[in-house]
Structure 1
Amino acid sequence: MKIDKDAAPFTALAAAPTVVAALAGKRRLALGLAALTAGVTAFFRDPQRFPDLGHEVDASIVLAPADGRVMHAGPGQAGIAPEGDWNQVSIFLSLLDVHINRTPYGGTVTKVAHRPGRFLAAFKNESATENECTELVVERDVDGEHRVVVFRQIVGLLARRVVTRVAPGDRIATGQRIGLMKFGSRMDVFVPASVPLLVSEGDRVIAGESTLARWPQSGSVAR
């Protein structure tokens, strides 16, 4: 399985005491530390997902940007959603989930804004407004309709860094990798209120595979 490039320094840091224990002849300790090193490396795993396999994604589809469990699926929450009328899906990522993030919708990136903040547990509502995060906006025109999707990478209690690998002006495809969050976090997705949600609170979703929402009328291929 592919491992993201950001794993290198963390794997090296975790491996150092393993090597020391092995050289000191402390076999059991070395084995335990080796398992820890493997766990740290596995956190950065980057499995292939549906769009990467060459399948066409209809322009009406909004995909999950992260693996995890849906904490909220419904009207945009006051104080959390952008101004206007939105539907909101909030996804909580545990330490065991894949943390590679993907864009929920294809189009042109029109905004990438980083906000410094706190490191509250990502399952708390206040984490959406107080924690460090990066907000991205993707826009596109489909059959004469202008569409906008907003999504946020939000750090959690253990996550201390958001990695975003796209910039304003970039053209991205639905399900394309856009970055990652390190060590437990949350993602919020906002679609216009007229776009029906297809997930419910408690659902497990898979980045790049699970459909969060669908525009009422399908358009062309999302590329």
Structure 2
Amino acid sequence: MRNENTPIAVEGYPFIAIAGVLTIILAAVSWHVPVVWAGTAFFLVVTLFIAFFFRNPERITPGDENAVIAPADGVVIYLGPGREEHLGVETTKISIFMSVFNVHINRAPVSGTVLDTFYVKGKFLDVRDERATFENEQAGLVIETARGLRLAVVQVAGLIARRIVCYAGQGDRLTRGGRYGLIRFGSRLDIYLPTATEVKVALGEKTVAGETVLGILP
């Protein structure tokens, strides 16, 4: 998968380059036109923020193979029953909201094989609105563990996030805690677990992708 050894996600390079070049150009002009310093300062801040947004830190994933790991940094905004049509059964659904200040690299919640992938075009509602699960643009994976348990993880685009990136494809083998995609500029991750999963997080709790245990599989 991509971004395994890059401190900044490669998807951010074009944005950083554009903002950086504009900063350099304005800085050169400002030597002759002092009023341009304001523009230089603005684009410098933008460049630094973009680099910050696409940061790609290393994470230490817990060793318990039955543990389901948070696929995203953020806050749990929904915890309860949910049904994902690609699984076809009732599940326990956990939704994580990512603000623009969170790390946006998404990580595999379990080790397993990608049985199916899906992409749905849709709206760009605020992802804190529960309607976003059903109406927003989204991309998902159905993953089967070595013990035959199936779960789904869905990247949901938001009001600002307009670009979902997923590296995983059908038949790929994912490693729990490994990077598998990202969503640009604020978004949401929905994860659908077997109902017998022992949930380990609470509504409003902060999560760290690749480290926080969401639950223990039956």
TM over 0.5: yes
Q: Confirm whether residue 140 of structure 1 aligns to residue 145 of structure 2.
A: yes
In structure 1, the residue matched to 2:180 is 178
Q: Which amino acid aligns with 2:57?
A: P
Q: Which runs of 5+ in 2 are unaligned?
A: 1-5, 31-35
**C-alpha RMSD over aligned residues:** 1.7
Residues 190-201 of structure 1 mapped to structure 2, 5 A cutoff: 190-201=192-203
TM-score normalized with structure 2 length: 0.90
Q: How many pairs does the alignment contain?
A: 208
Aligned sequence identity (%): 35
In structure 2, the residue matched to 1:211 is 213
Q: 1:62 aligns with which of 56, 64, 68?
A: 68
Q: 1:71 aligns with which of 74, 77, 82?
A: 77
Given that 2:84 and 2:91 are in contact with CA atoms closer than 8 Å, whether structure 1 keeps it comes out as no
Q: 1:162 aligns with which of 148, 164, 168?
A: 164
Distance 2:84 2:105 in 1: 27
Distance 1:169 1:79 in 2: 20
Q: Which amino acid aligns with 2:56?
A: D
The structural deviation recorded for 1:137 is 0.8
The structural deviation recorded for 1:73 is 1.3
Given that 1:81 and 1:190 are in contact with CA atoms closer than 8 Å, whether structure 2 keeps it comes out as no
Distance 2:109 2:43 in 1: 37
Alpha-carbon distance change, 106 to 79 in structure 1, aligned in 2, over 3 angstroms: closer
Q: 2:57 aligns with which of 43, 47, 55?
A: 47
Q: Which runs of 5+ in 1 are unaligned?
A: 217-223
Q: Which amino acid aligns with 2:190?
A: D
Distance 1:108 1:84 in 2: 19
Deviations 1:60-91 (A, max 9, x none): 10000000000011222x68895322101000
Given that 1:61 and 1:105 are in contact with CA atoms closer than 8 Å, whether structure 2 keeps it comes out as yes
Q: 1:84 aligns with which of 83, 89, 92?
A: 89
Distance 2:90 2:135 in 1: 22
Q: Which amino acid aligns with 1:69?
A: V
Distance 2:84 2:64 in 1: 32
In structure 1, the residue matched to 2:29 is 24
Q: Which amino acid aligns with 2:93?
A: Q
Deviates more, 1:176-185 or 1:115-124: 115-124
